[in-house]
């Protein structure tokens, strides 16, 4: 009988202890879980440094977007002047005819047909040139300038042009005038008389 009483006491103590542990867990576990979640959320928010991640929704997002000022459209600065991109244009006057020509990729102007002993007025525009700069011109296939020489050094005028007159001889064939300004060399090409097919450009 004494043995049974001891057993009953033991079972009662165990039951009460188990119930106490269960109640403790039920009471304290949710609080612990909530505390851990808050700590994790706080860590995630501050882990990005000085820019925490914040979720905006609805009107808050719209207000945040509308608060950002629009960037004004401004034209680029420091662009290259248009004139500096233009190659020198030549204006050729032979008798009653006037030609406006520009150099090709090989720095040669279009060939102009003339007659022997023609007097040719030449004007070459240098939009990128400096007023007062000297330009060297030279006749390399005969003919001469008004000063009776085969070379001349005209000066860029206030309109950014040079002007000179070339005189062909009484010979048939090609007359070339080389024009040099700074590091650029251009070539004027004149042909006196009928132009043979095999030399056409």
Domain residue limits, the chain: 2-66, 83-199
Q: Which CATH architecture is the domain 83-199 placed in?
A: Sandwich (2.60)
Q: 10-residue block means of pLDDT along the chain (201 residues)?
A: 48 53 51 44 45 47 51 45 63 96 89 96 95 97 94 97 97 96 94 77 54
Read off the pTM.
0.56
Reported as type and span, the H/E element at residue 62 is helix 59-66
Rounded distance, CA 93 to CA 99, Å? 6
Sign of the Cα pseudo-torsion (52, 57, 60, 63, in order): positive
Residue 170 vs residues 109, 178, 193: alpha-carbon distances, Å:
23, 20, 10
Sign of the Cα pseudo-torsion (108, 111, 115, 121, in order): negative
């Amino acid at each position: 009988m004494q043995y049974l009483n001891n057993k009953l006491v033991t079972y009662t103590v165990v039951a009460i202890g188990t119930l106490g542990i269960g109640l403790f867990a039920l009471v304290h576990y949710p609080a612990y879980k909530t505390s851990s979640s808050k700590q994790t959320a706080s860590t995630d928010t501050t882990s990005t440094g000085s820019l925490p991640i914040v979720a905006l929704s609805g009107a808050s997002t719209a207000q945040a977007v509308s608060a950002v000022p629009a960037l004004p459209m401004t034209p680029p600065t420091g662009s290259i002047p248009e004139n500096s991109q233009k190659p020198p244009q030549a204006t050729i006057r032979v008798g009653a005819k006037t030609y406006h020509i520009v150099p090709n990729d090989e720095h040669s102007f279009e060939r102009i047909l003339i007659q022997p002993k023609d007097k040719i007025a030449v004007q070459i525009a240098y939009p990128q040139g400096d007023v007062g700069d000297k330009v060297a011109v030279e006749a390399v296939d005969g003919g001469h300038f008004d000063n009776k020489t085969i070379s001349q050094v005209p000066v860029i005028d206030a309109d950014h042009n040079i002007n000179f007159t070339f005189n062909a001889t009484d010979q048939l064939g090609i007359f070339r005038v080389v024009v040099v300004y700074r590091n650029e060399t251009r070539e004027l090409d004149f042909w006196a008389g009928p132009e043979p097919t095999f030399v056409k450009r």
